[in-house]
Amino acid sequence: MPLRRALFRVAGPVVAVAALLGGCASAPAGAAVPVLRPEVLAEVPHDTTAFTQGFEIDGDSLYEGTGLVGESQLRELDPATGAVRRSVPAPDSVFGEGITVVDDRIWQLTWQDGLAIEWDKATFTELRRVPVDGEGWGLCRDGDRLVRSDGTDRLRFHDPATFAETGSVTVTRDGSPVEEINELECVDGRVWANIWQSDEIVRIDPADGVVDAVVDASGLLPADRAGGADVLNGIAHVDGDEFLLTGKLWPAAFRVRLDPPG
């Protein structure tokens, strides 16, 4: 469900980080993948103790999964202020990773603990734990399936009810594998993904794994505010071509416009 613009505090005049590079049509076969720059529309405070691993808007709530052993949480945030409405610690000192909402439930990945945790969205109580092969990094819902990243060059598909793995696809950019795919956001049949330890977000067609757009988010968090902050990691779709982007331990989340071709 989209959020109204009024939910966000506009940080002074609207700022265009840089102009969009490339046209409005899909790139022709063999052409380089279009590179976009985000247009910053507003800013929301973000908890600098949150090691953000998952970031997703559902209704009038912003859900966040955080990481680190002994510090991992599932949180519900006020999208207008960034304030934590409620939180629950991840069980047994697991290292929490990506999250996604599935109707009245929330799935949360763990990094190297070999399991996914299913939560009741209304009560934030744990419902069950399901074994997962390989690492857990990012997670999002693409229609009737879930999409998981595991730090490799593959996206893995899961049943949203059982979390059983149902398939996978190799991700490529200009014909080369893309590795260290991190936090995910599924939007209109595409998967937006942070690339770990970089300022890039890629848009992936999950049908064939091809990257068809790249976001260069360098400078999104100004250097004079980046002290103590970690990497870009957190993509929450707001509505249309607007997203909320943040990072691990960042002091802010930025509502941006991304206008990709195609």
- Spatial distance between the Cα atoms of 148 and 46, rounded to a whole number of angstroms: 25
pLDDT of residue 30: 52
pLDDT of residue 73: 97
For 174-233, what is each residue's pLDDT tens digit?
999 999 999 999 999 999 999 999 999 999 999 999 999 999 999 999 999 999 999 999
pLDDT of residue 254: 98
CATH number of 5-21+31-256: 2.120.10.30
For 102-157, what is each residue's pLDDT tens digit?
999 999 999 999 999 999 999 999 999 999 999 999 999 999 999 999 999 999 99
pTM to 2 decimal places: 0.88
Q: What are the domain boundaries of the chain?
A: 5-21+31-256
For 8-37, what is each residue's pLDDT tens digit?
433 433 333 333 333 333 344 456 899 999
pLDDT of residue 178: 97
Looking at residues 36-42, what average pLDDT do you find?
96
pLDDT of residue 32: 84
Q: Which is higher by pLDDT, 149 or 260?
A: 149
Residue 157, beta-bridge partner list = 147, 167
| Cα 35 to chain centroid, rounded | 19
- Spatial distance between the Cα atoms of 257 and 59, rounded to a whole number of angstroms: 19
Q: Is 261's pLDDT higher than 60?
A: yes
- Angle among Cα 195, 113, 207 to the nearest 5 degrees reads 40
Contact 231, 247 (CB under 8 A): yes
pLDDT of residue 11: 41
In the 3-class helix/strand/coil scheme, how is the chain assigned residue by residue?
Answer: CCCCHHHCCCCCCCEECCCCCCCCCCCCCCCCCCEECCEEEEEEECCCCCCEEEEEEECCEEEEEECCCCCCEEEEECCCCCCEEEEEECHHHCCEEEEEEECCEEEEEECCCCEEEEEECCCCCEEEEEECCCCCCCEEEECCEEEEECCCCEEEEECCCCCCEEEEEECEECCEECCCEEEEEEECCEEEEEECCCCEEEEEECCCCEEEEEEECCCCCCHHHCCCCCCEEEEEEEECCEEEEEECCCCEEEEEECCCCC
Contact 171, 155 (CB under 8 A): yes
